[in-house]
Amino acid sequence: MSRTAMSVALAVVVLSGGVVLTGCSSTDADVVNNNISQDSDNFKVNRRVSFYNGITDKVMLVVEGFCSIDIGPDRLTVTCKVGDGYKRDYLGRSNNVTFIVEQLDSANVDPNHYKVVLKPEALIPNFETR
């Protein structure tokens, strides 16, 4: 094996080892945060979202329930599970309006294992005929 090929092979091994070690350095908090986020996106976490106007010092809106939240640059999308259905609210953001998201109940998640949720029904498209 030539000296160049050996150097390249050694570099690949060192970089691969670095990637593996970096992936293993997650803290318990990282794993718990990931698992709570997944549970929230699957409507398993009870939350309260409050919108506060900084000029009037008043709460403008409160949304409570098992909600998933998507934070965009100019709006917040709150999707909540209501019985067997869902409700979605779009809330605009500005320089004088802020929001607070509270988790109302503790979440029972595993700090030692990442949660992976597979939904086979999401892989099969829902066809609609007209």
**AA letter at 124:** I
Residues 88-116 pLDDT 10s? 999 888 888 888 888 888 777 666 666 66
Residue of higher predicted confidence among 124 and 46: 46
Q: Give how far Cα 27 sits from Cα of 14, 31, 32, 37, 128, Å.
A: 23, 7, 9, 16, 45
Report if pTM > 0.85.
no
Residues 56-79 pLDDT 10s? 989 999 999 999 999 998 899 999
